[in-house]
Amino acid sequence: MENEKRYLIVGLGNAEQQYAGTRHNYGFEVANAVAKAFKAEFKSDRLAYVARATFKGRELVILMPTTYMNLSGKAVKHWLAAENVSVNHCLVIYDDIDLPLGIFKLKPKGGGGTHNGIGNIIETLGHTDIPRMRCGIGKDYAQGYQVDYVLSRFSSEELKLVEPCIERAVSAVKSFVTVGMQMTMNQFNTKETALAKQLTVSDDSPQ
């Protein structure tokens, strides 16, 4: 029987050390920030690093899969079953080139786009009804250089947008586990859209 007080928070990334801090590990960065907010420590477990926390009567299982990114579904499927968590209590967090840098968006379901991690989770679970948080990394790269771009690290200037975004993302995770996806989307997506417009105006302004 599924535990209605338990939530699985999944940050996607590549566990190998050479990928630490790269754009493609944005999900790991958010998961780390969530764990830090609750003073929870990650421990190596089956297919993932796992941290546990409690918040307002909810149990959080925070996950960073140690499979390759394109096998993330294996870890998610295992931990959903092991912890008796329903899919609508699972939030998958990952980088997205189709959103501007420093912005995130919440969605209750949808396709995988070009992201191999969420794509594999959808394929493994057999449906697209998977709540997710897409964290924008922009697409500031020349044609043919997408892989190099997503595996590169944020510049110090970019971190000025990324770090506040991660803080807001942690607040959104807290909201998700207390009031659910719909109310969290209503609260955070509108603000993120407004912020994206501000950033666009700023980018277009004279230097």
Look up 24 and say whether it is catalytic: yes
Please state, for a pLDDT cut of 70, what percent of the chain lies above it: 97
DSSP label at 1? -
Q: What is the pLDDT of residues 164-180, one digit of tens each?
A: 999 999 999 999 999 99
Amino acid in position 16: E
Comparing 16 with 201, the larger pLDDT belongs to 16
- Which pLDDT belongs to residue 127? 97
In what side-by-side order are the strands of the sheet with 90-96?
43-45, 48-55, 58-65, 6-11, 90-96, 132-136, 104-107
Mean of pLDDT values over 15-26: 94
CB burial of 10-33 (b: ≥16 within 10 Å; e: otherwise) equals: bbbbbbeeebeebbbbbbbbbbbb
- Which pLDDT belongs to residue 46? 97
Q: How many CB atoms lie within 10 A of CB 57?
A: 8
Q: CB-based contacts of 143: which residues, under 8 Å, 6+ apart?
A: none
**Average pLDDT over the chain, rounded to an integer:** 94
Give the pairing of strands 48-55 and 43-45: antiparallel
- Which pLDDT belongs to residue 200? 77
- Which pLDDT belongs to residue 3? 86
Which of the following is catalytic: 24, 78, 89, 115?
24
With bands split at pLDDT 50, 70 and 90, how would you rate the model's confidence at 202?
A: low
- Which pLDDT belongs to residue 207? 44
Task: Report how far Cα 121 is from the mean position of its chain's Cα atoms.
Answer: 13
CATH topology of domain 6-145+152-204: Rossmann fold (3.40.50)
Q: pLDDT at residue 153 above 70? A: yes
> Half-sphere exposure of residue 90, counting CA atoms within 13 Å on the CB side?
28
Domain parsing of the chain, residue ranges: 6-145+152-204
Please state, for a pLDDT cut of 90, what percent of the chain lies above it: 90
Q: pLDDT at residue 1 above 80? A: no
